[in-house]
Amino acid sequence: MLQTRSGKRTAAAAVKIAVDMEKEGLIDKKTAVTRLEPSQIDQLLHPTFDPEELKKAVKLTKGLAASPGAACGKIYFHAADAVDAAANGEKVILVRLETSPEDLAGMVAAEGILTARGGMTSHAAVVARGMGKCCVSGCSEIKVNEQNKTLEVAGKVFKEGDYISLNGSMGDVYEGQIKTIMPGLSGDFGTIMKWADEIRTLKVRTNADNPRDAQQAVEFGAEGIGLCRTEHMFFDDERIPAFRRMILSDSEEERREALSFLLPYQKADFKGIYEVMGDRPVTIRLLDPPLHEFLPHTDEEMEILSKQIDIPFEKIKKKTLELHEFNPMLGHRGCRLAVTYPEIAEMQAEAIIMAAIELKKEKGMEIIPEIMIPLVGLEKELAFVKKTVVETIEKCFEREGVTLEYLVGTMIEVPRAALTADEIAKEAEFFSFGTNDLTQMTFGFSRDDTGNIIKEYRDLLIFEEDPFQTIDRTGVGKLVEMAVKLGKQTRPAIKLGICGEHGGDPKTVEFCHNIGLNYVSCSPFRVPIARLAAAQAVVKADREHTSDK
Ligand code: PEP
Ligand code: MG
């Protein structure tokens, strides 16, 4: 044989070939799981464009392939309009300069999301991946005028209600409608995933903050929740006024009053998630984003809020200006919120524990909540918040006459926490590496603003990979490895995971296996990818070990 070349194949074909070859005794299961590219699995889980229609389609521009799949619909520029249009049975593409947690309902209603700004870990990208929804972000050639409701691209102007189509797997934006085809999960795919589960040692959890996503992830094989971001739960129409009232409070007493209104909602959220997850572990993170993200931005919205919560417009405006931060991602967020307003952490800890206690009483469920404190950089900071959490939980136990097991741990996402992980581990029962923030802070690259710079760096081969997608082993990875070693020195049985976007990236999964993490956590649609990548990491490590001998 003089020359060979591997035959190109679709994901479905690769699965069939691998399973058939194993059945025929040509390869073993370990080899079979290496015959499918983890990134190809996406083809099996998301809609794609009809290839015949795609041939005729007019491509307008290209942005970042932020969340895979294909989608087509009428464009809307505001979340509320998207929700209304979807309620009228229209297929919707939400077009924004960038999204924020306020746009969540519009994102849920949309088939796909297109943003002019933002990188691979911008709000739009992360949330869309979480929902398994197609998203093209950082599309710098488009001009979005949210006020006039127009989208300008390739010399054409699109108005509200015009059709466009998006390919989130490639980052392509097309004019008009292109038919999409739904995926079909074949039996062979199930077989190969079963083999992957038999081989892998790394657990795979999911990032989910509602029962729907949790259910989807369980169907994809998630073994727990590694990150439940609680902030999304406050944007619901019924809750946001109370949350805003809490932010605008002048005293602790007023804050507590608003929080007591939110407590039953939070508890119900957690009960819903625990019920879906059953005996699988659930890690819930305390509130993380800067508070001004929750406040209205325009005078018009402030007027509406003023009437809703009976607080003068001037006061809302003044407080919003006070809360403004030049670098919000380095500002008043994460555990710093719980240090300055411990009553927020108290409410959340109570909701987390009471949800578990009620399910124990009502259904005999034995839930072991894992409470995660974000953005810690100092042992004392963690100790301070942990004390609030533990004291609140003890009070619940006493009042209810019930106790249950629980863990308190932290995210490692500030470089100082990684460098001092031996100290942090005195307080933390688990570490979860928040590699989105850890990458941002290690490189000093804003995760929300540097999509274009990273693209140029990649074109110039300064970066081989986008460090917000695949972990930078040399720098960020070194901090992670250091923290693993230091954490184990203090607490040999410490539980270790990763919950940044990297947790669903095959190369990062391999790295996590090699450095001895217990689990990776990723958005529901990336769970099968991570399961396969974890199995491949075992096979690769075995082969390297054998060839070393
Ligand atoms: C992270 O920083 O990696 C993380 C998971 O938290 P978030 O993306 O919510 O900041
Ligand atoms: Mg973070």
Ligand 1 touching residue 207 (CB < 6 A):
no
**Could you give the percent of the chain with pLDDT greater than 70?**
99
Q: According to the model, what pLDDT value does residue 491 have? A: 98
Q: What is the pLDDT of residue 464?
A: 95
Predicted local confidence at residue 48, as pLDDT: 87
Residue 186 has pLDDT above 80, yes or no: no
Nearest CA to ligand 1 atom 1: 434
Ligand 1 atom 10 nearest Cα: 437
For a pocket test of ligand 1, which of 411, 442, 472 has the largest count of ligand atoms closer than 8 A to its C-beta?
A: 411
210-222 average pLDDT score = 92
Model's pTM, two decimal places?
Answer: 0.83
Average pLDDT value for residue range 317-323: 90
Report whether pLDDT(223) > 60. Answer: yes
Distances from the Cα of 97 to the Cα of 66, 116, 151, 235, 375, angstroms:
15, 5, 10, 20, 27
Task: Give the C-alpha separation, 135 to 139, whole Å.
Answer: 10
Is the CB of 227 inside a 6 Å radius of any atom of ligand 1? yes
- Checking if the pLDDT of 185 tops 60, the result is no
- If you measure from the C-alpha of residue 436 to the centroid of ligand 1, how many angstroms do you get, rounded to a whole number? 5
Cα-based angle 407, 224, 37 (whole degrees, multiple of 5) = 135
The 3-state secondary structure of 361-427, one letter per residue: HHHCCCCCEEEEECCCCCHHHHHHHHHHHHHHHHHHHHHHCCCCCCEEEEEECCHHHHHCHHHHHHH
**How far does the centroid of ligand 1 lie from the alpha carbon of residue 298, in Å?**
27
Query: How many angstroms does the Cα of residue 238 sit away from the middle of ligand 2?
Result: 26
Q: What is the mean pLDDT of the chain?
A: 94
Substitution site in 286, 375, 413, 498 for ligand 1 pocket (most atoms within 8 Å of beta carbon): 413
Higher-pLDDT residue of 386, 104:
386
**pLDDT top residue among 447 and 353:** 353
Give the range among 336-340, 511-515, 525-529 with minimum mean pLDDT: 525-529
Q: Which residues are catalytic?
A: 123, 499
Average pLDDT over residues 84-95: 95
Structurally, at CATH architecture level, domain 48-181 sits in: 3-Layer(bba) Sandwich (3.50)
d(CA 79, CA 247): 23
DSSP lists the bridge partners of residue 112 as 93, 134
pLDDT digits (tens, 9 = 90+) for 124-172: 998 998 788 999 999 999 999 999 999 999 999 999 999 999 999 899 9
413 CB within 6 A, ligand 1:
yes
> Domains of the chain: which residue ranges?
48-181
Say yes or no: CB of residue 231 within 6 Å of ligand 1. no
Residue 360's Cβ-count burial label (10 Å; 0-12, 13-18, 19+) is middle
Q: What is the DSSP string of 41-70?
A: HHHHHS-EE-HHHHHHPPEEEE-EEEE-SE
> Is residue 152 within a helix (H) or strand (E), and if so which, with residue range?
strand 150-153
Supply 132's token pair. Answer: 């398994």
| Cα 25 from chain centroid (whole Å) | 40
Q: Which atom of ligand 1 is nearest the CA belonging to 207?
A: 5
Q: Is the CB of 106 under 6 A from ligand 1?
A: no
6: pLDDT strictly greater than 90: no
Between the CA of 341 and the centroid of ligand 2 the distance, in Å, is 19
Ligand 1 centroid – CA 394 distance (Å): 29
Q: What is the DSSP letter of 140?
A: T
pLDDT at position 429? 98
pLDDT band at 120 (very low <50, low <70, confident <90, very high): confident
Is residue 273 very low, low, confident or very high in pLDDT (cuts 50, 70, 90)?
very high
The per-residue pLDDT for range 350-360, each reduced to its tens digit, is: 999 999 999 99
* Residue 42 pLDDT greater than 80, yes or no: no
- List pLDDT tens digits, range 285-312: 999 999 888 888 889 989 998 998 889 9
